[in-house]
Amino acid sequence: MTEKTSPQIHAVILAGGLARRMNGVEKGLQKLQNLPLIAHILQRLSPQLSAVNGKVYLNINRSEAEYQQLFPHLPFYQDEIPDFQGALSGMLTGFHQIESNYLLFV
């Protein structure tokens, strides 16, 4: 009898843009109920990923020091394509950098 193994699932929080529609403010660090928006995402996502030994990664292209100060336990990466090409650039880089059966992007 063979033992079934769960597929590896990791997640990426895409927070690497210029926030043009928000006058350039860093969306992931904006507060909602006294917590950065990314903290709310982590609260929902982390229990689901821990059930499958998954990790959460951050795709950030600016404000690295602030993100690292608030979330030092999260690995992060920047887009491979320069000049803020959008969310698809963060997704493409995630596929290149993260070894996983499945990647969830939020």
The domains of the chain are located at 9-105
Reported as a pLDDT band with limits 50, 70 and 90, residue 86 is confident
Task: Decide if pLDDT at 18 tops 90.
Answer: no
Alpha helices (H) in 9-105, listed in sequence order: 37-50, 64-70, 87-97
- Ramachandran sector of residue 99 (left: φ over 0; alpha: ψ -120 to 50; beta: rest): beta
Q: Which of 19-33, 34-48, 85-99 has the lowest mean pLDDT?
A: 19-33
The residues pairing with 103 across neighbouring beta strands, listed in sequence order, are: 10
Q: What is the pTM of this model?
A: 0.84
For 28-58, write each residue's pLDDT tens digit: 888 999 999 999 999 999 998 988 889 999 9
pLDDT value of position 2: 53
- Ramachandran sector of residue 5 (left: φ over 0; alpha: ψ -120 to 50; beta: rest): beta
Architecture of the domain whose range is 9-105? Alpha-Beta Complex (3.90)
For 59-85, write each residue's pLDDT tens digit: 998 888 999 999 999 999 998 888 877
